[in-house]
Amino acid sequence: MSRLVTFGDSWPAGAELDSEGKTYGEILSKLLDLNFENYAQPATSNGHMILQLKQYIDNHEDVKGDTAIFFITSPTRSIYIDYNNLPHEIYPWADTSKGDQAYYYYKFFHTPAQEKFNLNTWILSLQRICDYVKLNDYYIVGWSDFKFDFPGIDTSKIYEKTCAEIFGVSGEHEFTLASESMYVKPNNDHPNQKGHQLIAETLAKWINNE
């Protein structure tokens, strides 16, 4: 049986769900009658999904025909790889005192134009890799409104609404969702079980209509 695999940060990873909770990826896999694997890792950036995808490909002899769901998180997060080939994430809420890595990133590299460039580059890379290994790739945005306009990006693979919009809220930040949506409460900033169910049903309807 073919597989469905999810990539991204804490949302697809299932943060704040209890031990019996099911992520939208697991629910979606059952709706599509596919085996399920989850490569999402909490607090990671969009660029990190390239490493997650590489790991998935490396772990399987053949991924042709599998379905991949990529969760697009905030573009303010960034990834760098150190001299030991270990990935690290940089966040806008990290220590930005002089001498900290985040200080240099947000002083010299953090601009809206740079974020847009990075995001488009990462999504284009993911789509080209998926095309090369014959993965059926789909993308859903968490809460920020992005413009994907690099030549070569297939925007038909990116769901037209953000998860925030699916939940009926208009916030541009994940930490504003809890006070506004029944699909997040009583969690702090991640979907509750109803939220995961709604995302899964939305994706299933979209994929089945492709």
Q: What is the mean pLDDT of the chain?
A: 90
β-strand pairing of 78-81 with 87-90: antiparallel
Q: Is 168 left (phi over 0), alpha (psi -120 to 50) or beta?
A: left
- % of the chain exceeding 90 in pLDDT: 65
Q: How many domains does the chain have?
A: 1
Please say if the pLDDT value at position 99 is more than 80.
no
pTM: 0.92
Q: Is residue 2 classed exposed, middle or buried when 0-12, 13-18 and 19+ CB atoms within 10 A define those classes?
A: middle
* Mean pLDDT of the 81-89 span: 87
DSSP state, 6? E
Looking at residue 92, its pLDDT comes to 67
Type of residue at 44: T
CB contact at 8 A, 46 and 123: yes
In 10 A of CB 74, how many CB atoms?
20
- Of 51-55, 68-72, 89-93, 155-159, least confident by mean pLDDT is 89-93
pLDDT at 41: 96
- Render pLDDT for 45-81 as a digit per residue (tens, 0 to 9): 999 999 999 999 999 999 999 999 999 998 888 888 8
At residue 116, what is the residue type? K
Find how far residue 161's CA is from the centre of its chain. 14
What 3-state DSSP class applies to 146?
Answer: coil
For residue 183, the number of C-alpha atoms closer than 13 Å in the C-beta half-sphere is 19
Spatial distance between the Cα atoms of 82 and 142, rounded to a whole number of angstroms: 28
Please report which helix (H) or strand (E) contains residue 52, including its range.
helix 48-58
Range 107-116 average pLDDT: 79
Closest CA to 57 of 9, 126, 124: 126
Domain that holds residue 178: 3-208
CATH code of the domain in which 52 resides: 3.40.50.1110
In this structure, the number of other CB atoms found within 10 A of the CB of residue 171 comes to 18
Q: What single letter denotes the amino acid at residue 147?
A: K
The string of pLDDT tens digits covering residues 170-188 is 766 655 666 668 898 888 8
